[in-house]
Amino acid sequence: MRIEVPFEIHYLTEGTVPIEDVIDALVSAKLFIEEGGYNLGGLVPGLHIEQVQVNVRSISQESPLREILFTAIYLTVQKDLEREVPALIELTTGSAVPEGFKTIVTLSVLIALFYGAAYVKDLVVFTTTNSKLKRQLDALVEDLAKRTGRTEDQIRKFLDDRYKPHGKIKLLAQAAFQFFKPSKSQLNAPIRVNDREITRETVSDVPEHYSYEEVLDAKTAQPFNGIELELHAQDRDREASG
C-alpha cells in the first residue's frame, strides 16, 4: 500500500531567510520525515514500513518561510491488529489519507526532532534537565501513546534502542540545529508543522549552534579528514613486539 502524506512547514519569520539556512532546514526536514516514517513500524501496532520517499513540492523564501513536501510511505497493515488503532481502519477502508493517520505521522516526525534537540540540551548543560524541549518531547510521546495503544514507556524504549546504541543520536542532534536555524536567526520565530505549532518559548530553549560546537571541541575524540594511516605487523623500533 502506498500512502502519500503532505508536510507543510511554516517558519513564522518576519524577514527573508538566508539561502544557506533554507537549504540546511530543508535537508534536516527530509531527514526527520524519513526517520518519523520508518519509526512508525515500531510505534504503531500492526504496521510494517517498507519504504519512505520524501519529495519537495515548493519552497517560499519570503516571509514567512514555507516548505511544502510530500511523503510517500509504502506500508503493510497486519489485519488482526488494525482494529487496535482507529486510524489504521480508516487507512485500509478509504481512498484519501485520513486525518488520524496524518496526525500520527506528524507526531512521529516531531518526536524524532525533539528527541535529538533534547539530547543536545542535556549535552550542552552537562546534565539531564527538565527543559522545555524535554517537556515538549514528553507531551508528544503522551499524545502518540493515546492514539496508538502503545504505552509511553514502550515508545521511549523504542527510541532509546533505535538511536542510543548506534550513535545516530548525534546525527539527529546536528539535524535539529539545522531545522531550527531559520527561527533561531530571527528572534526564535515560531514554527508550524502541519497542524502543530512549536512556540517561540520552545524554540528559544534550543541551544545556539556554537555552544554545541564548543562541547564537541572539548571531547577527546575528534574527526580528522584526509589522514593516511600506515599499519605495521611489528613495532618499527622493536621487532620483537607489535
Domain of residue 190, residue span: 2-218
With beta carbons less than 8 A apart as the criterion, state whether 158 and 4 touch. Answer: no
Which helix (H) or strand (E) segment is 213 a member of?
helix 209-218
In a domain, residue 225? The reply is: no
In a domain, residue 45? The reply is: yes
Secondary structure string (H, E, C) spanning 71-120: EEEEEEECCCCHHHCHHHHHHHHCCCCCHHHHHHHHHHHHHHHHHHHHHH
Give pLDDT tens digits for 45-55. Answer: 888 999 999 99
With beta carbons less than 8 A apart as the criterion, state whether 53 and 38 touch. Answer: no
SS3 65: strand
In a domain, residue 238? The reply is: no
Give pLDDT tens digits for 22-75. Answer: 999 999 999 999 999 999 999 998 889 999 999 999 998 777 899 999 999 999
In a domain, residue 33? The reply is: yes
In a domain, residue 226? The reply is: no
Average pLDDT, stretch 176-203? 95
With beta carbons less than 8 A apart as the criterion, state whether 87 and 104 touch. Answer: yes
Number of separate domains in the chain: 1
- Which 8-state DSSP code applies to residue 14? S
- pLDDT confidence tier of residue 162, bands split at 50, 70 and 90: very high
Q: Residue 109 — φ and ψ, nearest 5°? A: -65, -45
In a domain, residue 235? The reply is: no
What is the pTM (predicted TM-score) of this model? 0.83
- Higher-pLDDT residue of 125 and 172 is 172
